[in-house]
Amino acid sequence: MTAISPTTAFSLDRAVDGSAVLWLEAPHQSVVVLDRSMVTRLDVTIDNLESEPPTMLIVRSRDERVWIAGADLKEISALGDEELDSYLADGQRVLGRLAALPFPVIAAVCGATLGGGLELAMHCHGIVATTRSMRGKPYPIGLPEASLGLCPGWGGTQLLPARVEPNVSIPAIASGTPFLSDAMPQGLYDVAVTQADELEPACRTLADTLTPSDLPRTIACCDEEILLAEVDRIRHAADAKEAATVVAHCIATGVKDGLSAGLDMEREGLVSLRNTEHTTHLLQAFLTKTT
């Protein structure tokens, strides 16, 4: 297993035209997940990008099975409340830095993209996604946290409803139900391609149409009445789980008080949910199944 320091930047392939490709990798994990070391490495990489800006950036994954499988749930389960809040806050800060880069940043998605993986992609200025993995099969893409009794912690509640119609995106977040790549709803991606080798050309074409200062899209640019109507429907559903209620509260907070308040509520909600008996049992079962 390759040992890589958390202070080691991700690989950047710079082209003669001034563009660059950032390669996500996690040699210390079986798949690419956003643990604390990965968040730190992304932070260091952004330092390098700011000191030597490319004309555009394409974000890819070296893992042929997943783009990013989400956060490291084993790590999250082991953190104390203050440590977890700090970890979530750091992830929010670093993804915010990615979104604030002054040149186009395009996520080139191929493979399972879940939880923190989709949140990272949505902090990019655009998303180009394949409809099938490199193995030729549809893959999941979405925010599955609520299915484990949790809620998104890196902006998912504030970003997905700005990309996908609220009557589709909000129930999906509240239930933790991912989409499949061959049936992605309109808006989840900016461009869909069929083959992995089509990703980079499509990213370059998309970059020419983007204005980074206007992106990424958040619920601040959405119709407040439509969002809150869907939030109320989730809150008053007879079978509403605690995680769904927290998701609804995060969205309502972001709508009424702004993105920063919505992000704060995500952290508070995730830490609170992580401590419930229901979520503890779900996480234990999940970790037992995946180890």
Give the pLDDT confidence of 164-176 residue by residue, as tens digits.
999 999 999 999 9
Give residue 268's Cα distance to chain centre: 18
pLDDT value of residue 171: 97
Per-residue pLDDT band for 29 (boundaries 50, 70, 90) equals confident
Residue 59 belongs to a domain with what CATH number?
3.90.226.10
Number of domains in the chain: 1
Is residue 260 one of the residues assigned to a domain? yes
- Assess if residue 157 is contained within a domain: yes
Cβ–Cβ < 8 Å for 255, 219: yes
pLDDT at 5 over 90: no
**Residue in the block written with tokens 């390098």:** 48
State how far the Cα of 6 lies from the Cα of 94, in Å rounded to an integer. Answer: 14
Q: What is the average per-residue pLDDT within 135-152? A: 96
Mean pLDDT of the chain: 94
Among the residue ranges 28-32, 101-105, 225-229, 254-258, the one predicted with the least confidence is: 28-32
pLDDT at 1: 42
Q: Which long-range contacts (CB under 8 A, 24 or more apart) does 202-205 make?
A: 202/128, 203/56, 203/58, 203/106, 203/108, 203/126, 203/128, 204/19, 204/56, 204/58
pLDDT in the model for residue 268: 97
- Tell the burial category of 186 from Cβ atoms under 10 Å away from its Cβ (0-12, 13-18, 19+): exposed
Assess whether pLDDT exceeds 90 at residue 216. Answer: no
pLDDT of 7 reads 76
Contacts of 163 (CB under 8 A, 6+ apart): 122, 169, 187, 188, 217
Asked, for residue 1, whether it belongs to a domain, the answer is: no
**pLDDT value of residue 291:** 62
The answer, yes or no, to whether residue 194 has pLDDT greater than 90, is yes
Inside any domain, residue 3: no
pLDDT band at 3 (very low <50, low <70, confident <90, very high): low
With a pLDDT cut of 90, the percent of the chain lying above it is: 87
Distance in angstroms (rounded) separating the CA atoms of residues 181 and 242: 28
If one compares 6 and 199, the residue with the highest pLDDT of the two is: 199
Residue 229: give the domain boundaries: 11-290
**Stretch 269-281: mean pLDDT:** 94
Q: What average pLDDT score do residues 184-193 get?
A: 96
In a domain, residue 169? The reply is: yes
Is residue 193 in some structural domain?
Answer: yes
- Is 116 among the domain residues? yes
Residue 45 covered by a domain: yes
209 contact partners, CB below 8 Å, separation of at least 6 = none
Q: What is the pLDDT of residues 94-140, one digit of tens each?
A: 999 999 999 999 999 999 999 999 999 999 999 999 999 998 999 99
pLDDT surpassing 50 at residue 34: yes
